[in-house]
Amino acid sequence: MSTVEETEVAAAILPDVEGGTARSRRRWAVPAALAALLLAGSGFRYLGAQLRDPAAMANRALVDTRATTEVTGDVSSALGKVFSYSPSDTTATAQAAAELLDGTAAAQYQALFGQLQQRVAEQKLTLSSRVVRAGVVELTVDRAQLLVFLDQTAQREGQAATTAAAQLSVTAQLRGGHWRITDLKAR
């Protein structure tokens, strides 16, 4: 067979091969697209059902930004006050704890701070706590569960300050228009 004949044969065959490949791709493209649409639709339907779930609907943290911001602000402010003290004024910290803590958190804090209060003055220890990030995990009309990250800076008189991070699980109750911390757990 000559080169001209080979070229003519190849030209005659190639369009069929290419056309067959294109037809083959088209033949699989439609079912693949339908399968992808069905899969995406099923995923969206599942997510929609999750949002209609009574437990999810009851969690205001997912839908009420004003209430979420309010509880985050009250709890962050309270933690900053009760976990900050200086040797010259532990009374203000104790008063803040009495106003901002309730239940288990108040009892835990009183036991801890009672022991610490004497050492603070003796060791001239200053502690400053600042909420770096707080997230509301669950929120109802009068109860909230938060995860809070704190930066705490401690300094003894005449020594360099040291900073440490803390992570707390916090439960709060709405009482008298303000959120009070009722439980604290270190994480």
Instruction: Report the CATH number at residue 86.
Output: 3.10.450.50
Q: Which of 132, 129, 147, 140 is nearest to 184 (CA)?
A: 147
Domain membership of residue 147 as a residue range: 60-186
**pTM, 2 dp:** 0.69
- Same domain for 32 and 118? no
Structure token digits, residue 66:
């004003």
Count of the separate structural domains present in the chain: 2
The pLDDT tens digits along the chain (187 residues) read 555 555 454 444 444 444 455 555 566 667 776 777 777 777 677 766 666 666 666 798 888 999 999 999 999 999 999 999 999 888 899 999 999 999 999 999 998 888 888 888 888 999 999 999 999 999 999 999 999 999 999 999 999 999 999 999 999 999 999 999 999 999 8
Over the range 103-128, which residues count as b (16 or more CB within 10 Å of their CB) and which as e? eebbeebeeebeebeeebeeeebbeb
